[in-house]
Structure 1
Amino acid sequence: MFDIKALLKREVEKKLIDVDDYIFMPERIEMALEGGKLNCVLNSDGRVDIFYTKQGVTEVSSAARKHPYTPFEKELSHGIYDDIIRDLLKAVNKVLDGKSKYFHHRVVPIRTPQLPTSTVIKEDSSF
């Protein structure tokens, strides 16, 4: 037999749980993790952006909100996004552990020319 009530109930639940229909209060949670800085950002459209920075190297990943009715901090504390964070840590550490095939010596950044210390610039106060 065909159960119309169950079918309608599933359709209503599906519409209620659709994250695209909600606007979330943006949240940011920061913490130090394994010598770097982890930022987890909940955007107003329900997308979660996770940033990990260590020694000047930054890696970013995004995920869809997994449990829209659960507070964002509780999702993080229960490890919902731990797989994404683990992948970010691996990617940053891989970059930091890597060696260049072409740059064997330290690369010196280009500096802008500075005025010699003996040069004095006088201001014209007649304006």
Structure 2
Amino acid sequence: MFDIKSFFKREVEKKLIDVDDYIFMPERVEMELEGGLLNCVLNSDGRVDIFYSKEGVTEVSSASRKHPFTSFETELNHGVYDDVIDDLIKEVSKIIDGSSKYFRRNKVLPSTAALPSKPPTDL
């Protein structure tokens, strides 16, 4: 036998869970974390942008909103985006700890010839 009540209930739940149908109030949460600055931004379309900056190096990642009926700060407090934040911190640390075989801070680059202050007039 066909259960109309459960059919309508499933359809309503399906519509409520689709984050693309909502417009969110933009929010921003900033905090210092492991010597760097973490910015979590909830956009009006439900996209969450997470920025992590440390010692002049910045990494950015995006995630979709997980729970549309939960406040953004509550999601952050419950660790919903912790995996994304952990990846950002690892990437920034990897960049900071790395070094180039071409560029060194203690290497002095040769200077170039000085340009004349006045253009030549004998052209």
User: Which range, TM-score by smaller chain?
Assistant: 0.7 to 0.9
Aligned residues: percent identity?
76
Counterpart CA distance in 2 for 1:27 and 1:105 is 39
**Matched AA of 1:9:** K
Cα distance, 1:107 vs structure 2? 7.0
Q: What residue is the counterpart of 2:100 in the other structure?
A: 100
SS of the residue corresponding to residue 39 of structure 1 reads strand
Mapped to 2, the partners of 1:93 and 1:76 lie a distance apart of 22
| TM-superposed deviation, 1:105 | 4.1
1:46 is aligned to 46
Q: Does 1:61 align with 2:61?
A: yes
Gaps of 5+ in 1: 109-127
Provide the rounded CA distance (Å) in 1 between the counterparts of 2:16 and 2:78: 23
Unaligned runs of 5+ in 2: 109-123
Which amino acid is the alignment partner of residue 100 of structure 1?
S
Return the alpha-carbon distance in structure 1 between the equivalents of residues 55 and 76 of structure 2.
24
Alpha-carbon distance in structure 2 between the residues aligned to 1:10 and 1:106:
65
Q: Deviations over 1:33-57 (max 9, x none)?
A: 0000000000000000000000000
- State the alpha-carbon separation in 1 of the partners of residues 98 and 85 from structure 2: 20
Alignment-derived partner of residue 123 in structure 1? none
TM-score normalised by the chain length of structure 2 = 0.82
